[in-house]
Every structure is written in C-alpha cells, then in structure tokens.
A and B are shown apart, each in its own frame.
Chain A
Amino acid sequence: MGQLNVNENQEYKQLVIELLYQLADDDFILAFRGSEWLGLAPHIEEDIAYASINQDTMGHAVMYYELLEALGEGPADLLAHGRKAEHRKNAILLEMANGTGTYLENPKYDWAFAVVRHYFYDIYKKLKLESLKQSSYEPLAQAATKMKMEQYYHIMHWKVWFNQLCLSGGEAKTRMHAAIQQVWNEFAGVLTYGKHSLQMSQYGLIEEESLFKKRWEEEMRRVFEDVAISYPGDPKMQKGNGREGVHTDDLIQALATLSEVYHLDPQATW
C-alpha cells in the first residue's frame, strides 16, 4: 500500500480531497439549515435535542475541513465560509430552505420536511461512515469511527419523530407523505459520489458506489416497512447534481447569511 500516500501519489490525493469536500459541505449546510430551527422547533425539549444534533453535525464538518486544511487546501474557517456556491460539493437536497420566509421574518418552516430530510440523511450517513471506517485514507477512517458513535443518537431521535408522525392520522400523515416525496425527488444527489466515483473505490477510499446504494436501499426498505408505506422506487435528482457544483438560489442565500459575520473581518480569531 506504499503508493497510497497523499504526498507521493497526486491522483490519490486529489480523490481524497474531492471526497472530503463532499462530506464536509453536506454536513456543513445541513447543520446550518438545522440551526435555523433554533427557537422554532415544536417544543423546548426538541429545541435542545435539535440544537445538540446540529452542534455534533457542525463538529463533523469542522473535522472534515480540518482534514482538508492538513492537505493544503487552506484554513478550515475559509473553506467553510469563504467558498462560493459553484465550488461547493453538497447535495442540493441539503441546501434547500426549511420552508417559506426567513429566520427573522415569517419563518413558515415545514417540520415534516425537517424530520424526513434529517432522518433519511442520518441513516445514509451512518451507512457511509461504516464504509469510511475501512477507508484506505487513515485519518478519514479514524474520524469516521468517532463520528459514527455520535450518529447513533441522531438516528434514535429522528426515528421516534418519523415513525410516530407517519403512523398517526390526519394532517401529520398527509404532510409526511408530501415531505417523503420532496426528499425522494433529490435523494439521488446525496447518494452519488460524483464523476470520480470509480477511482474513489478503486483506491479503497470508500466501497463501490453501486454496492453502497444496494446496502442503502435494503436499509430504506426496512424504514418504510416499519411505517407501512410502500417503497417509493429509485430516488431522483431533479434539481441537478450538487457534486458537480450545480446549486440553487437557496444555497446562495444561505451562504450570504451564514458568512455575514465572517466577512466583516476574515482575519479575526474566534
């Protein structure tokens, strides 16, 4: 495995960097969308739980950005706040606004969408971390081991919401079905490794994309079975592929908001 050294093999190094950007940007933007619920969650206990989950997820993003910093990509703070939308690698699903309005003005956020997006993402992430624990890039394998322990609690939490809302009647059920459709329309964008997928698995960075998707589908079939909803078929990617830098206005707005303070003084130490 001597050739699998980021200092000696440029191709390998670029693939590690590409994968890390996908992982970092996914966690970063979803943790931001989650934080926008602060003070708006259905009840105080949920506010605490959700804040804690977002804090963990943001911590995971920091971890990935620090791994990128170690590979010479620049300071982690800059990677998080200073990159333009077209350079981001996150899936479009994760940048989508929580609903209409903004945090400060008329936030009409959709709790069903929040539950489905986070639950499905967290299940996906657990499976991805399982694979990354075996990664040929040792620092990533070690980080994945640590993150997966925290992920355990996130899934436990969202599962309660998801199952109860899906199994209840009336408005909850209708809205959960609508949210599942909305999330499913973009979930293929989360699953894709991008155009270097094959090389990533050849270098042992992560398991082969097709095998990963198979494992994911098996898990999701169980999730739908639990709530007696039939499996919705293959997920889609209607708004474009975020891994290729395609994004929506939602991301541009999110970046403007989250980097506002950073841009006041990029040299400041926090």
Chain B
Amino acid sequence: MKIEHCLRSVKDPEIPSVSVMDLGMIEEINVSDDSIVHIKALPTFLGCPALEIIKKNMIDAVSAIDAVSDVNVEFIYHPPWTSDRVTDDGKEKLKQFGIAPPPEFDAQNHEWKVECPYCGSHYTTMENLFGPTACRSILYCKSCKNPFEAMKPISNLM
C-alpha cells in the first residue's frame, strides 16, 4: 500500500495532474524476500518519449521508502494498455487539466462523443486527430468556444 501511495506521486511528465496509478499504467507490484520491489508497467503508446523519465521517477519515488532495498521497473506489453484503464479519479483529474478523458470506443460507427472539459457540452468538433503528444487529439467546443484536448480512445477492438 505504501508503494502504491508513492506511485501516486509519480505524475505523467506531460500531464502533471495525473499519476501513473490514475492512468492505469501499473499492472503488477511484487516485493521479493530481499525487499526488492518489482513493478510491471504498461506503456500507453509505444513511441512515447516520456517512458524513460516515468521509469526513473517511479524508481526514485519507491526507493525513498526506508524498507525498500532496490526497485526494478519493467515495461510489459501484455495485457496491452487500453484507455478504459484510466480510473474515475484519473478522468476527473484529466478534466481539471483541460483534457477530456478518453471517450468510449464505438467500433461500429467509428464515432466518439467527447464532452468539453470546461462546460460539459457535447457540441464539440474534432480539429486534429493528432495532438501535442501521441495519446491526445485536438478538439473545439462550439458551445463555450474553447479549444481543448482529448485523450484518444485505445481499445482491443481496434
């Protein structure tokens, strides 16, 4: 529990309001007899340049616990990270940062309904499928006239 608490302080370097726990990136935490912590984490996008920084920050945070002798972080690909792993708490924090949480993926219609993180309206349009980072898109709210970003839905159905 203490380890999880520490990991809540490790934020996404590009979205400082959400932690690796909020994003659902942590798959497994094991502590071996010699007090070595083994963490298995899932990358959101494979080409994400923040992965190495996140890994280092996780090691630093967990190493700060007195009883821990060493920390070992491994990125794994099974199960794959999908956007439904973002916790409810994480979704709220994304909104606070001005990013709409990942909408549900509709495999039939290829359509997403994205709620504006500022005013809650559904009257929004896609400006660019791709945004400032691999995991985000750029949208525009026609109700409150604000541009905003949304996390892309990522699903096993794709």
Answer yes or no: A210 CB below 8 A from chain B CBs: no
Identify which of residues 30-72 in chain A touch chain B, using a CB-to-CB cut-off of 8 Å.
45, 48-49, 51-53, 55-60, 62-63
- Mark contacts of B87-127 with chain A using CB atoms, 8 A cut-off: 1 yes-contact digit, 0 otherwise: 00000000000000000000000100000000000000001
Contacts of A156 in B (CB 8 A): 110, 129
Check B77–A49 contact: CB distance below 8 A.
Answer: no
Check A149–B155 contact: CB distance below 8 A.
Answer: yes
Contact of A60 with B131 at beta-carbon distance under 8 Å, contacts A142-B77, A143-B77 already known: no
Q: Compute how far the CA of A143 lies from the CA of B78 in the bound complex, rounded to whole angstroms.
A: 8
Check A48–B131 contact: CB distance below 8 A.
Answer: yes
Answer yes or no: A213 CB below 8 A from chain B CBs: no
Check B158–A56 contact: CB distance below 8 A.
Answer: no
Could you tell me the distance in whole angstroms from the C-beta of A107 to the nearest C-beta in chain B? 22
Identify which of residues 139-185 in chain A touch chain B, using a CB-to-CB cut-off of 8 Å.
139, 142-143, 145-153, 156-157
Check B128–A45 contact: CB distance below 8 A.
Answer: yes
Contact of A60 with B47 at beta-carbon distance under 8 Å, contacts A142-B78, A143-B77 already known: yes
Identify which of residues 116-158 in chain B touch chain A, using a CB-to-CB cut-off of 8 Å.
127-134, 138, 152, 154-156, 158
Check B154–A149 contact: CB distance below 8 A.
Answer: yes
Check B48–A157 contact: CB distance below 8 A.
Answer: no
Q: Compute how far the CA of A58 lies from the CA of B134 in the bound complex, rounded to whole angstroms.
A: 12
Main secondary structure on chain A at its contact with chain B?
helix
Q: Compute how far the CA of A48 lies from the CA of B129 in the bound complex, rounded to whole angstroms.
A: 10
Q: Compute how far the CA of A146 lies from the CA of B76 in the bound complex, rounded to whole angstroms.
A: 10
Check B128–A58 contact: CB distance below 8 A.
Answer: no
Contacts of A149 in B (CB 8 A): 80, 82, 154-156, 158
Check B155–A62 contact: CB distance below 8 A.
Answer: no
Check B46–A147 contact: CB distance below 8 A.
Answer: yes
Q: Compute how far the CA of A157 lies from the CA of B152 in the bound complex, rounded to whole angstroms.
A: 14
Check A48–B80 contact: CB distance below 8 A.
Answer: no
Contacts of B154 in A (CB 8 A): 149-150
Check B130–A145 contact: CB distance below 8 A.
Answer: no
Contacts of A152 in B (CB 8 A): 158
Check A153–B129 contact: CB distance below 8 A.
Answer: yes
Check B128–A62 contact: CB distance below 8 A.
Answer: no
A-B contact list, 24 entries, CB within 8 Å: A48-B130, A48-B132, A49-B130, A51-B130, A52-B134, A55-B134, A56-B46, A59-B47, A62-B46, A142-B77, A143-B77, A145-B78, A147-B46, A149-B80, A149-B82, A149-B155, A149-B158, A150-B45, A150-B134, A151-B158, A152-B158, A153-B130, A156-B110, A157-B130
- 4 tightest CB-CB pairs across the interface, nearest first? A59-B47, A59-B46, A49-B130, A52-B130
